[in-house]
Amino acid sequence: MKRANPVMTCGFATASWSGGTKDMDDERSSARILIVDDDAVIDESRPLSPGLADGVGTLADFAADLSVEADRLRLIPTYVHRGEDAVAAVAGAVRDDARFAVAFLDICGPCRIDLRQTVARIRALDPDLQIVIVTGHAADASADITCDVRLPDHLFHLTRPLDAQAAWQTARALAHRWLTDRELAATRAALTAKIAELEERARELAANESKAIHMAHHDPLTDAPNRLAFLRVLTDSLRGTDCVAMAMIDLDRFKLINDTLGHLVGDELIRIVCEILIEQVGDAGFVARLGGDEFGVLLRVADEADAMERCERLVRACSTDLLVFGHPVRGAASIGVVMAKVDGGRDPVDVMRRADMALNDAKRSGRGVVRRFDDSMDESIRFRRGIEQGLTRAIAQGEMALLYQPIVARETLDIVAFEALLRWNTPDFRDVSPAMFVPIAEESNLIHELGDWVLDKVLMILPRLPGQYISVNVSARQFRRPNFTSYLIDRVQRAGIAPDRLQIEVTETAIFDNAERAAATLLELRELGFRIALDDFGTGYSSLYNIRTFALDCLKIDRSFIDGMGRERESAAIVHSIIHLARALRLEVVAEGVETEAQVQALRVAGCSHLQGHHFARPLDADGAIGLAAGGIDRRWLSAIG
């Protein structure tokens, strides 16, 4: 007799499949079983077999007994008699997205279709379907089917008569496997999609980053390198060994062309001249648009004569008749040139300044000419050379002085430290600002002589102070010398001073050139006991990077921000941000240049740990500083500023 298609439950749920619509929980806990058995077609009148409980049976009995609960898995059998019906059932399951997990095939009667053909057609419809062939003999011809199956690990065999435990475990295990494979496939698909999405985002980010970098370093009108790119290339060139000339080029009468023919013609003229310069310079140099109608050119040259000859060629190349948007235009240019390492030293900004002065001289000379920079073009150079000569005798003649400005604590206004400030009073130039003479001294070895003198004076006064430390500014050239750490420890040991009584102030500029070496030096100094302060914080190259990388005790907020607090919202915001950042990193903060009571109040409210400026005391000589350290700041300030 023909059996019905039972819907049996083994634990999870009771709902049956309904076409292709599946609840998510059902999909995770249910599996459809296809049973193909032609015994009923052969003899529909035969009685039911004893059943799987007796240890033997047919697939019909197996289908009926799937209702036995064994674990939390819902097996839903579909029972058919013919191979053609099985193929149709699999096709419908694939179409409705309600696929079978396992198919049990027992086709053995005289009316059976070819078993190999049935398996092949089923597999063509659903390659992932696991097939169990029930055969009467272990060495049945069905073994040949294995050779034809694309996934032989999805083909299994059971022998008749069926063993209840083996049949049930086979169905359950293969159903679990099928569900697991589907979950893994879904996970792989999701991961693949996510990876593809991330890769696409990475490509977009890389493209945007590349575009942003290009825009930051290129002129939007000509797409030539801009001033920033030119300054970087110039800086690198000055560090190299090649002989380098820098030329600054300006178009003659460009304003007249712009005003009479319009900005579109002016812009096109700039593009044309830029192409001419790039073509003329070639691979032996570098061309950038600095702004307006001004271009910068770097040339690798043999000597001064070679530089002048190549600049003359550039002038001739630009001095030609051009047709710009139908307008005839006579091109013309003037050039100022400086031999970078000879006339301009190794400061890129100064090299560009001198090239600009040479360009101005070329324009005053009648335009369309080349002028090389010489010292007569810059009165400040003569002044700088006078300063350099005066510094060589300043120490010996007693012209140098060291003053001390107190640093007070926020809460109590107790003096916790002094900053040592170098001063120079010379008969030739009177009072010379450190901002003027320190860079000049740094260009020569005089900075080391000055540094030694300052340190000796500081170590002499420290024993006379009642516990305060002294902060000493160290120039970039001092900081970079190889024996800097050993030099410091030797000096303090010979003076009998504890290292923590000395604070080393460095600027971001001093440590930016070689950050890795600077980090190692600062860490070594900290481990030896010295205090480290980062001076003029907020004005350097990469402030956030520096405070995370370098061993620091203190940040000193530049006086320009303190001065602007009462007038500029931006300055106040910067000061508050630096204070909050330092407190989060457990660093002290010293506000320099505190001049007014309002600034004191604002800084104390903001949480600034230390204050320094004329509001508390002007820089004092050694005796004045010692006396102030003993007496302290006038306590009336506390009531005045809250």
Contact between 102 and 178 under an 8 Å Cβ cutoff? The reply is yes
Which residue in 61, 151, 154, 142 sits closest to 107, CA to CA? Answer: 142
- The more confidently predicted of residues 593 and 25 is 593
pLDDT, average across residues 6-30: 39
Mean pLDDT for 133-144 is 59
Pairing of strands 531-537, 554-557: parallel
Q: What is residue 135's predicted lDDT score, i.e. its pLDDT? A: 76
Place of tokens 């579909």: 78
The mean pLDDT of 601-618, rounded to a whole number, is: 93
Within 10 angstroms of residue 423's Cβ, the number of other Cβ atoms is: 16
Whether 626 shows a pLDDT value over 50: the answer reads yes
- Tokens standing for residue 354: 């001198």
Distance CA 80, CA 86 (A): 6
Express each pLDDT in 532-554 by its tens digit: 999 887 665 555 666 777 889 99
pLDDT tens profile 278-290: 999 998 899 999 9
Task: Kindly report the backbone phi and psi dihedral angles of residue 290, in degrees, each rounded to the nearest multiple of 5, phi listed first.
Answer: -85, -20
The proportion of the chain whose per-residue pLDDT surpasses 70, expressed as a percent, equals 82
Beta strands 469-473; 285-291: pairing state? unpaired
Of 136-150, 427-441, 482-496, minimum mean pLDDT range: 136-150
Cβ neighbors of 341 (< 8 A, separation 6 or more) are 238, 243, 244
The confidence band for 484, taking pLDDT boundaries of 50, 70 and 90, is very high
- Average pLDDT of 116-133? 88
The Cα–Cα gap between 83 and 69 comes to 29
For residue 139, the model assigns a pLDDT of: 46
Q: State pLDDT tens for residues 232-286.
A: 999 988 888 888 999 999 998 888 888 888 989 999 999 999 999 999 999 889 9
pLDDT tens string 354-398? 999 999 889 878 778 999 998 778 776 677 778 888 888 888 888
Average pLDDT, the chain: 82
Residue range 201-224: mean pLDDT, rounded: 88
- Per-residue pLDDT, averaged over 566-594, amounts to 88
- Of the pLDDT bands very low, low, confident and very high (cuts 50, 70, 90), residue 151 is low
Predicted confidence at residue 40, as pLDDT, reads 53
Going by C-alpha positions, the residue among 15, 14, 17, 13 that lies closest to residue 34 is: 17
Rounded to 5 degrees, what are φ and ψ at 498?
-70, 140
Q: Of the spans 36-50, 52-66, 68-82, 388-402, which averages the highest pLDDT?
A: 388-402
Lowest-confidence region among 11-20, 55-64, 487-496: 11-20
Give the pLDDT score at 494.
Answer: 94
Q: How far apart are CA 311 and CA 332, in angstroms?
A: 13
Helix (H), strand (E), coil (C) string for 80-125: ECCHHHHHHHHHHHHHCCCCEEEEEEECCCCCCCCHHHHHHHHHHH
**DSSP characters for 348-405?**
HHHHHHHHHHHHHHHHHTTSS-EEE--GGG-HHHHHHHHHHHHHHHHTTTT-EEEEEE
Core vs surface per residue 561-581: b (16+ CB within 10 A) or e? bbbebeeeeebbebbbebbeb
Most confident of 2-6, 17-21, 56-60, 519-523: 519-523
Determine contact, residues 131/35, Cβ cutoff 8 Å. Answer: no
Residue 313: name the closest of 282, 281, 270 by CA. 281
Residue 598 has pLDDT above 60, yes or no: yes
pLDDT given at position 239: 86
Q: How confident is the model at residue 21 (pLDDT cuts 50, 70, 90)?
A: very low
Give the pLDDT of residue 464: 95
With bands split at pLDDT 50, 70 and 90, how would you rate the model's confidence at 455?
very high
- Higher pLDDT: 203 or 62? It is 203
Start-to-end CA span in the chain (Å)? 103
Residue 416 to residues 410, 427, 464, 467, 503, Cα–Cα distance (Å): 10, 35, 14, 8, 12
φ, ψ for residue 226 (rounded to 5)?
Answer: -100, -170
On whether the CB atoms of residues 191 and 168 are closer than 8 A, the answer is no
Select the highest-mean-pLDDT range: 56-60, 102-106, 396-400, 451-455: 451-455
Looking at residue 545, what is its pLDDT?
A: 60
Q: Which of 105-114, 258-267, 293-302, 453-462 has the lowest mean pLDDT?
A: 105-114
At which residue do the structure tokens 């005289």 appear?
110
Highest mean pLDDT among 33-42, 146-155, 420-429: 420-429
> For a pLDDT cut of 90, what percent of the chain falls above it?
42
Distances (CA, A) of 544 to 394, 445, 538, 555: 39, 32, 9, 11
Supply the pLDDT for residue 542: 53
Kindly report whether the peptide bond that precedes residue 50 is cis, defined as omega within 30 degrees of 0.
no
Average pLDDT over residues 321-340: 90
Q: What is the pLDDT of residue 584?
A: 87
Torsion angles phi and psi, residue 586, rounded to 5: 60, 45
Under the banding of pLDDT at 50, 70 and 90, the label for residue 316 is: very high
User: By the 8 A CB rule, do 424 and 437 touch?
Assistant: yes
Residue whose C-alpha is closest to residue 455's, from 477, 422, 480, 500: 422
- Please tell me the predicted confidence (pLDDT) of residue 454: 95
Confidence band, pLDDT 50/70/90 cuts, at residue 64: low
